Amino acid sequence: MKNIVKKYEFYLFIIIVTLVIFFAVFSDNFLNLENFMDILISSSFIGIMAAGMLVVLISGGIDLSVTAIATVAQYIMAITIIDYNGNLFSAFMVAGIIGILLGTFNAFLIYYLRAPALIITIATLNLFYGATIFVTKGKWIYNFPDWFNQSHNLFSFTSADESHFYSGISLPVVILVLVFILTYIILKYTVLGRKIFAMGGNFEAARRAGFNMLGLTIFVYCYIGFLSGIGSVGQVLILHSVQPNAIVGRELEVIAATVLGGASLAGGAGSVFGTALGVALLAIVWNGLVIMGVSSYWHNVIIGLIIIFSVSINAYNRKKTLRGY
């Protein structure tokens, strides 16, 4: 089992390296630090949500409401910041707590109704998002205080002529990295992580082994809720606008990246490294296509083909491995 997962990540990694070489050969502007940082910034939000989705998928669940939770958390955070000022820490706190609350709501429904997480979270996606649009009338928010609108870079790389802050390690990227490390530690080195794997591998067996299934369910959905809340603040820090209808709809992008990274929709399998590769693959292809000057009419077609290709290699490889046993 472990070998297969390892192999899959390996092949995914090879595909990414091949693509990077390909783009670098055909465009002089692809392989440089600035572009690398731009890709990281652009994929930070999806990446943070994908880390949460990984944990949920491993536990045998799924959370389609992740984008709706992000929308609610982002909106309430924005209103709080504008009405009560505060600071960056309080912004993340508010969004994180909203995420945890909505995640708890999901967890209770999923646990006590014993219904598939898919349908419950489709329902809560509509509930959270619909209620937000209803209450707020979907108004965009862009009048943030100045301290919030400043760029939040740890340090900046300046161009040779020193006129531009070409790029920096911006806060959302730092959060992305921290979230991946945290998720890795939880899954790999804690009892909790092993229990989540066991829960996704065989729910009934885990229950009979005496695991607190309610507690695990709550943790898993709160974790993704928390991360989508945190991630949504990161997104506002980059874009300085809250556009409540812009996030919902991207949950499939999050799931695609996670599953592409080797997480199983059936539960019990997946890795942080794979998820990072899945997010990276999609981000790199989009970036590379634009930088190579490929006509936008082809972008979706090529993305679709590359996903099919990656998954086929995985399927072929798995067949071969299984035959080997």
Partner 1 sequence: MLNKKGIFILSIVLFVFSLTGIAIAQDYEIVHVYKIAGIPFGNVEESGVVQAGEELNVNAYQVAPTEADPAQQVRMIEDLIAKGVDAICVTPNDPSALEPVLKKAQSKGIVVVTNESVGQKGADWDIETVDPKLWGAHSFEKFAGFMDGEGEFALFVGGLGVQFHNDWADAALAVQKEKYPNMKLVTSRIPCGESIELAFTRTNELMKAYPNLKGITGIGSLGPIGAAEALKAKNMAGEIIVVGSVMPEQSAPYLKAGLIQAGSMSDPKKLGYSMVYVAKLLLDGEEIKDGMPVPGLGNAKVDFEEKTIRLHGVLDITAENAETLGF
Total interface residues for partner 1 by CB under 8 A? 44
From 5-13, 31-39, 72-80, 209-217, span contacting partner 1 (CB under 8 A): 31-39
Establish if 20 lies at the interface with partner 1 (CB under 8 A): no
Establish if 157 lies at the interface with partner 1 (CB under 8 A): no
Query: What x-and-dash track marks residues 38-57 binding partner 1 by CB under 8 A?
Result: x---x--x------------
Q: Among 112, 142, 309, 316, which residue sits at the site for partner 1 (rule: CB under 8 A)? A: 142
Establish if 147 lies at the interface with partner 1 (CB under 8 A): no
Distance in Å, CB of 241 to partner 1, minimum: 5
Establish if 160 lies at the interface with partner 1 (CB under 8 A): no
Establish if 296 lies at the interface with partner 1 (CB under 8 A): yes
Distance in Å, CB of 24 to partner 1, minimum: 12
- HSE toward the beta carbon, residue 139, CA cutoff 13 A: 9
Distance in Å, CB of 253 to partner 1, minimum: 11
Q: Could you give the CA distance from residue 42 to residue 39 in angstroms, rounded to a whole number?
A: 5
Establish if 163 lies at the interface with partner 1 (CB under 8 A): yes
Q: Among 165, 189, 309, 316, which residue sits at the site for partner 1 (rule: CB under 8 A)? A: 165
Q: Among 84, 89, 155, 297, which residue sits at the site for partner 1 (rule: CB under 8 A)? A: 297
